[in-house]
Amino acid sequence: MPRKYQLSIRTIFIRKIILVWFCLSATCAWTRVLLRWTLPSVPPAATTGIGDLVVSWEASDLIRKAHDQGYRVYAEIQIHNAANMPRNKIRNELAGLILNPGDSQQSQIDNALRELRSAYKELPLLVLDTKAKQPQMKGQLVIKKDGVLQVSSPTAQPWIDSNLALMRFDQALRPAQTPLYEFKWQSGASEQPQDPDIQDYLLAIAEAGAFHADLILDLSQKFQSDLLQHNQAAWDALNQLKRYLDFFRRIAAKNLKAEANIGVIADTHQNSYEPVNLLARHNIQFAILEPSDLSPQTFQKFGILVFFAMPDERNAKAIADFASKGGTVVLADSHGSYPWHSAPSAPTSDHAVSYSVGKGRIIELSEPVIDPETFAQDVRRLMEKDKVLISLWNALTTIAVPYRVSDGPEKIVELVNYAEDPLQVQVQIKGFFSSIRYETPERDCCESLTSVQRDGFTEFVIPSLRIAGRVYLAGKSNTVSPAGR
Amino acid sequence: MRWNKRLGAVLICASASAFIGLASVQAYESQNSFVYKKKYVMGTIFEIATYAETPAQGSNGIDQAFREIVRLDDLMSDYKDESALSRLNRSVHLQPESVPDDLYRVIDESLYYSRLSDGKFDITVRPLVNLWKAANRGGRAPSLIDQEKLRACVGYQTVELLPPNRIKLRSSCLQIDLGAIGKGYALDRAAVVLRSCGISRALLNAGGSTILAMGAPPGQAAWPVDLRDPSNSLHPQVRLRDNSISTSEQTPPSLLSKEVTGHIIDPANGLPLKTDFAVSVIAKTATASDALSTTLLLLGPEKGQELVKIVPDMAAIWISADGRSEMASSGPQILLPNAHQGLTRSFTARPNDIH
């Protein structure tokens, strides 16, 4: 085994131990949206109906005020301040600490976590992922430096910015903590920075909720100020926002597991992030696995494995075993020497060779994935038709995430429409379900949808998906109900 | 009346503008309020940016323009079962069917481009497109028998227009697909709506594949638009003003399989087009640029240049991934800041070339 690889596994193992230790008390079973407040005053929690606020560590007066107003206050600490934190300052006012690591290396983050843990032993400690993007349907018109509106590099592909891939990486690489992320609002094509509108806030909440991640949501200063000045439009917007928060809180008590039939093996974002991002965008259901976690048992639930990490000897054996039983394996940027190289092979493209191994095959791509869009479509084509978990039509701006309920036959599908405009979406999902019920934050649970069963799949049409929607699927004798109903 | 719905849209917009006190047509010079919106429709992202007298005027105009695009999608979509096009495709063929005015008009224009290109542009190629799409999903090439059978269903000559609004499909298996022209037509209609709202400066973008410019930004002579460059070396650019640009290219080759083919099918032989060129076409209307970009991709640079000669106010550039390029123009200029001598061949039509 190459020394570099051994070091990598050891480092990952140590990091995992550290993270489990530091973040154990911070784990949370459901999505939380923490609102970031920056103005010096804050309305009482009893009137906003919001529980959690994030306030800068440096704004100690605001932390006290927010606490006095009834909020659970999380103090956000920039990593460069972590080492100099005064011990036990305003401890009683805090519900937790959030470390903003900026662009720091993992070793620096580990050190900062140690410092914080030693200063604030009992407080939950969360690490923020700052690499997320504003979820949105993206256009192509941009303002250049000279102020002229311009279209850049036209292509035919509509585009959405989604954080699903990032969340899946976080879930795999920081398993002890529910992913917690933030993003900065973008100004789009406009020359002037624009405040987000309510739809943008709702989409952000919908995305975090659907992906079962935690989000720090920046409220614009104008929104905060309007709330303080009792502006009715702002309070109406806040009520809409709360409706979305409640919508995702409803599902909190359920033990849901994201479904996946493709295993993506990666140890870093490098070289793999964009291909994984495109898998997510094409509604291909995948799970990210670390190379150190692999075994033949790990692979059992998958039909396809995609390796972005170089397999070691142990993993090479597991790969060969998986393929021999009928699985398909794709190795990106593959240059090693492997046992299956003695098997019958044939070039399948200019840069790919396919090896027949038992009932399955192993495809080696000799270069990194240079066209992630094409690669994602290739992976979808590799899937046998009867193994596709979910397909959507008329839904290029929609991401659907199917979850299995407590390992039982029932499923829940969370849907997010980045176009923020009502869509009629056709869905085909693997399995037979006679009870299909649909709910949205805007309408109370639940509308029964008619379905058709065909070739091992259930098909139905979602009448109107604006931003967030949820489908409960169950067999004849079962129904899946929102918690607490 | 042929254009009653268009007139309706115009009237709605005019009254809405009047209602909010914005219907001043004298003040075009003061159109500096920038408004930008986007909307997912026709399976892609439409964007409209305007410079209007006030934000309210720009916003209202864009909303009305999007409504027009949605209305046209409801007529021309082949995904929507209840669209006028789907009903026409499902109708009993071989007898005349009445269709909405806009559908009649866009099919009429399509047939013009089919005749102009001697059938390279053909809205009846859908059965073959579907055949190859299904083959790509299954990973196997369709049989020659299947191909021959479906080729018999293709041919723009079997679409007969019976003015003012009836269409007869003279083949029992004919299917019409407006995917290669519909978005351009929708942009032209959206521009009419914007004008009716008093907006004269706007850039309309249908998913990046077709862009229509109305007027120019304040203080500028035109809207600069970067063109598709698969080689990433030439960085071509055009300056659009009251004209349109469309880009077509074949689906990139699969990374893992030789069996997967592209989405553009040549009606002449029923096979997926093999080309490594992307083509960008400038024309007076978005309908024209949309239709002609697919056509010029299918024709290739050599024959394509001949077509450019006979269409006024048109230009085209073909660029391959390895940096080869060919240009032709009967008017508009394509700027190539990074072109090297001898790398790019260009052709400019003389006035007497234009028929």
pLDDT digits (tens, 9 = 90+) for A444-482: 889 999 999 999 999 999 999 999 999 999 985 455 555
Distance from CA of A351 to the nearest CA of B (A): 7
Domain boundary pick from A214, A249, A284 = A249
Are A394 and B77 contacting, i.e. CB atoms less than 8 angstroms apart?
no
CB spacing of A148 vs B225 below 8 angstroms? no
- Domains annotated for chain B, with CATH where assigned, are 1-78+179-216 (no CATH), 90-169 (1.10.3980.10), 227-355 (3.10.520.10)
- In this structure, is the dihedral angle defined by the CA atoms of residues A444, A446, A449 and A454, taken in order, positive or negative? positive
C-alpha to C-alpha distance for B183 and B110, rounded to whole angstroms: 13
CA distance B287 to chain A (A): 16
pLDDT in tens, B228-280: 888 888 889 899 999 999 999 888 878 888 777 788 889 888 889 999 999 99
For A38, the domain range is 31-249
How far is the alpha carbon of B248 from chain A, nearest alpha carbon, in Å?
8
A399 and A309, same structural domain? no
CA B151 to chain centre: 24
> For residues B63 and B18, what is the distance between their CA atoms, to the nearest angstrom?
15
Q: Please indicate, yes or no, if residue A16 is contained in any of the structural domains.
A: no
Pair A381, A437 in one domain: no
Which amino acid is it at B163? Answer: P
> What is the distance in angstroms between the Cα of A333 and the nearest Cα belonging to chain B?
12
At A473, phi and psi to the nearest 5? -120, 130
Chain A CB contacts of B224 below 8 Å: 144, 148, 150
What ipTM was reported for this prediction? 0.82
- DSSP character at residue A367: S
pLDDT value at residue A85: 73
Query: Nearest-CA distance from A365 to chain B in Å?
Result: 7
Which amino acid makes up residue B307?
A: L
Task: Determine, yes or no, domain membership for A291.
Answer: yes
Whether residues A151 and B49 touch (CB distance < 8 A) is answered with: no
Burial grade of B92 (CB within 10 A; 0-12, 13-18, 19 or more): exposed
Residue A76 and residue A90: Cα distance in Å, rounded?
13
**pLDDT digit string, tens, across residues A208-257:** 999 999 999 999 999 999 999 999 999 999 999 999 999 998 887 678 99
CB A439: neighbour CB atoms within 10 A? 18
Whole-number mean pLDDT of chain A? 87
- Contact at CB, A349 and B256, closer than 8 angstroms: yes
Give residue B256's pLDDT.
81
> Residue A430: inside a domain, yes or no?
yes
Whether the CA torsion A415, A417, A420, A423 is positive or negative: it is negative
Q: Is B321 exposed, middle or buried (0-12, 13-18, 19+ CB in 10 A)?
A: middle
What Rg do the C-alpha atoms of chain A give, in angstroms? 24
Does residue A242 fall inside a structural domain? yes
Tell me if A396 and B44 make a contact (CB, 8 A cut-off). Answer: yes
Task: Indicate if A305 and A346 belong to the same structural domain.
Answer: yes
Closest alpha carbon within chain A to B212:
A151
The burial of A99, by beta-carbon neighbours within 10 Å (0-12 exposed, 13-18 middle, 19 or more buried), is given as buried
| CB within 8 Å: B40 and A140 | no
pLDDT of residue B227: 87
Considering the domain boundaries, does residue A101 fall inside one? yes
Closest alpha carbon within chain B to A396: B43
Split into its structural domains, chain A has a count of: 3
pLDDT tens-digit map of A361-399: 999 999 999 889 899 999 998 988 888 999 999 888 999
User: Is A201 domain-assigned?
Assistant: yes
Q: Which residues of A touch B137 (CB under 8 A)?
A: 381, 385
Asked if B172 and B150 count as a contact pair (C-beta separation under 8 A), the reply is no
pLDDT given for residue B317 in this prediction = 96
- Number of Cβ pairs closer than 8 Å across A and B? 139
Residues A342 and A417 in one domain: no
% of chain A beyond a pLDDT of 90 = 66
Region at B342 (left for phi over 0; alpha for psi -120 to 50; beta for the rest): left
- Closest CB from A144, A158, A378 relative to B255: A378
Note whether B45 contacts A137, CB cutoff 8 Å: yes
| Substitution target from B31, B33, B40 for chain A, most A beta carbons within 10 A | B40
Estimate the share of chain B in helix, then strand, then coil, as percent rounded to the nearest 5: 35, 25, 40
Measured between beta carbons, the chain A residues lying within 8 angstroms of B294 are: none
Inter-chain residue contact A394 with B79, CB threshold 8 Å = yes
Please give the pLDDT value at position B22.
33
> Do A183 and A295 sit in the same domain of this protein?
no
For residue B335, give the 3-state DSSP assignment: strand
Judge if A64 and A201 occupy the same domain: yes
> Which residues in chain B have their CB less than 8 angstroms from residue A149's CB?
34, 49, 203, 217, 223
Give the domain CATH number at A69.
Answer: 3.20.20
